[in-house]
């Protein structure tokens, strides 16, 4: 029987809505919410277009949740491109890679300007949402710099069990870049992988191991997996 295991990706064009409300509105009780002044909502298509053009969003009403939503939309953009260009050689479109790097830099600048910006999920009085974006940011960079490498390794891991144990030489062959451009991109990805590891080191590996499954989303583990792929290159 035919089995379709594909996963649908949202069409960003269909998201004609406001961004999530401000943190003050989100955290207010019913009584406090009634006393809050009306704030101008942030229109998602406008904010997303600004980010995709490589410009940070300057809007004091942009909430932490809205920043997370914007980064999720960027990841959808990257994943859609990755799916549609599966037949092309690695790094076939350097202009696209540069454009998405500028997009992520613009998002980072927007994140840094936010008054609640804090990379530590345990120390922010406003909750962990701002810190939750950091693993997703690293994953976005990984899929700009080395999507084909990630796919080669994941294809190997998806082989049905019992799976023949991979030798060191076979693993090195998978990691081997297929062009000078891909080599450069892989080292850039390794830089972000090292940063991802350093964040866990600063928080404390023991603390993360004890609390991650309760306090952190699954994307922390997913980014940790992808970081582990690139760390041998550092």
Q: State pTM to two decimals.
A: 0.78
In angstroms, the Cα distances linking 47 to 11, 58, 79, 103, 172 are: 16, 9, 20, 12, 42
User: Exposed/middle/buried for 131, CB within 10 Å: 0-12, 13-18, 19+?
Assistant: buried
At 143-171, the pLDDT tens digits run: 898 887 787 777 777 777 666 677 777 76
Report the distance separating Cα 138 and Cα 143, nearest Å: 9
R_g of the chain computed on alpha carbons: 20
Question: What is the phi/psi pair of residue 18, to 5°?
Answer: -80, 155
> What pLDDT score does 118 carry?
85
Domain borders along the chain are 14-233
Q: What is the mean pLDDT of residues 47-76?
A: 91
Q: Which residue has the tokens 């069990």?
A: 161
> What pLDDT score does 163 carry?
66
Report the distance separating Cα 101 and Cα 223, nearest Å: 18
SS3 content of the chain, % helix, strand, coil (to 5): 65, 0, 35
Question: CA neighbours within 13 Å on the CB side: how many for 20?
Answer: 13
DSSP bridge pairs for 102 = none
Tell me the average pLDDT of the chain.
79
At 85-144, the pLDDT tens digits run: 877 776 678 888 899 999 999 999 999 999 888 887 777 788 788 888 888 898 999 889
């Amino acid at each position: 029987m035919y089995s379709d295991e594909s996963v649908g990706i949202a069409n960003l064009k269909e998201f004609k809505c406001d961004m999530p409300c401000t943190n003050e509105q989100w955290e207010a009780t019913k009584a406090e919410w009634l006393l809050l002044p009306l704030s101008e909502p942030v229109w998602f298509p406008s904010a997303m277009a600004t980010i995709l053009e490589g410009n940070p969003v300057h809007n004091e009403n942009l909430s932490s949740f809205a920043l997370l939503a914007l980064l999720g939309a960027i990841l959808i953009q990257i994943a859609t491109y990755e799916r549609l260009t599966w037949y092309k050689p690695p790094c076939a479109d350097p202009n696209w890679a540069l454009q998405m790097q500028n997009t992520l830099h613009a998002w980072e600048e927007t994140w840094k300007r936010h008054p609640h910006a804090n990379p530590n999920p345990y120390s922010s009085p406003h909750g962990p949402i701002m810190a939750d974006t950091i693993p997703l940011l690293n994953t976005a960079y990984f899929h700009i710099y080395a999507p084909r490498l990630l796919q080669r390794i994941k294809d190997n891991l998806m082989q049905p069990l019992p799976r023949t144990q991979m030798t060191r030489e076979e693993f090195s062959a998978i990691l081997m870049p297929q062009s000078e451009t891909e080599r450069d991109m892989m080292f850039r990805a390794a830089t972000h992988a090292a940063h991802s590891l350093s964040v866990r080191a600063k928080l404390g590996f023991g603390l993360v191991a004890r609390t991650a499954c309760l306090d952190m989303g699954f994307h922390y583990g997913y980014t940790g997996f992808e970081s582990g792929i690139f760390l041998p290159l550092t």
